[in-house]
Copies of this chain bind each other. A is one copy, B any other.
Amino acid sequence: MSRWEPNARGRLERAALELYSERGFEQTTVTEIAKRAGLTERTFFRHYADKREVLFAGSATLEELLVGALEGAPGSATPIAAVARALDAAAAAFEERRPHSQQRQKVISANAELRERELIKLASLSAALSAALRRRGVADPTASLAAEAGITVFKIGFERWIDESNQQSMSQIMRESFEQLKAVTAGN
């Protein structure tokens, strides 16, 4: 009896984020998330393994997006230019979802376990980018350094982008952050 629920996944995600923001991640149960979304627990578990996974279900899509964009970079692109292209694609996808990203980040920042899970996500994105660079013939340590530099820019740029006082687009911020990293490593 697996009834199809229109946009169950999105409804569960919104309900979960609302509840995590209102009462905290630890204090929220799957039962409450399903209820708020007007769905059953059984439907919840058809879409997510647990309540933490709701916050990280987008990681695979983000990885595909980054790797796909990097792979699409012209053969003549330097490693860092290929990585910058990947970040541009991610920025374009995030741009519309700033309120969602802000809400998600607040939930993550408030919980040590979620902050750790987020670090692991970033490390795995870095590994995916460096593997994609190696497939383009970039040797190590250049591949790893370019990937790590990209993830540093993504992480720090992302924090600036979701800041309430920020008026810039994510893609502008990512570009600026790349320039700043370049200036910093050059010793300025």
Contacts and interface: CB of A to CB of B under 8 A. Distances in A.
Interface of A: 78-81, 116, 119-120, 123, 141-142, 144-146, 148-149, 152, 155-156, 160, 177-178, 180-182, 184-188
- Chain A contact surface mostly: helix
Contacts of A144: 156
Contacts of A177: 141, 145
15 contacts: A78-B187, A78-B188, A79-B184, A80-B187, A116-B120, A144-B156, A145-B180, A146-B184, A148-B156, A149-B149, A149-B152, A149-B185, A152-B152, A181-B185, A182-B186
A81 B186 CA distance: 10
Contacts of A182: 185-187
Contacts of A123: 119
A78 B186 CA distance: 10
Ranked 8 nearest A-B pairs via Cβ: A148-B152, A182-B185, A145-B184, A185-B185, A78-B187, A146-B184, A145-B181, A141-B156
Number of copies of this chain that the complex holds: 2
A146 B92 CA distance: 26
A188 B185 CA distance: 13
B80 A142 contact: no
